[in-house]
Amino acid sequence: MEKDQQTKLLIHEDYEKLTPFARIEKMVEELQLSSELAFNIMRTARGKLTLEKRAFSRYYDDAKTVLEVHDEGYFYSPRMQVFFDSLASSSSLGIDLKTFELGQPLQVCPSSGWYYADIFNELLETAYFGAS
């Protein structure tokens, strides 16, 4: 919006409720108060993998969406930048943000050999330390 030759950014009051970007910002903010992860991968007595969802698992689909539309040509808010930087700086994951997509939590990422649930947990840990 432009008024009196000044440009102002207006954010709709429902912005936080409507977009995956806003929910990821909320996630990074919540990480400052909690060190809990999103998933716990376990094996049943018969050896089958099972997934225990924890508090931050609710952000997994938002993270998938945000990563799909990520473009290095844009500037992001500080919290969103923490989120993207946490993926880029997780050197043990070997992830390139330009091509990386989150799969289903119990699928194995071909480029790293990690389960996507573990990648997301690692991202949360890295973002937690970056947000603190």
The predicted model scores a pTM of: 0.75
What whole-number distance in Å separates Cα of residue 31 and Cα of residue 25? 10
pLDDT in tens, 79-128: 888 888 877 776 566 666 667 788 999 999 887 888 999 988 988 887 77
Select from 99, 125, 110 the least CA-distant residue to 37.
125
Residue 131 burial (CB count, 10 A): 18
- Residue 9, class by beta-carbon neighbours within 10 Å (0-12 exposed, 13-18 middle, 19+ buried)? exposed
| End-to-end Cα spacing for the chain | 34
pLDDT tens-digit series, residues 36-55:
889 999 998 998 999 999 99
Q: Which amino acid is at 1?
A: M
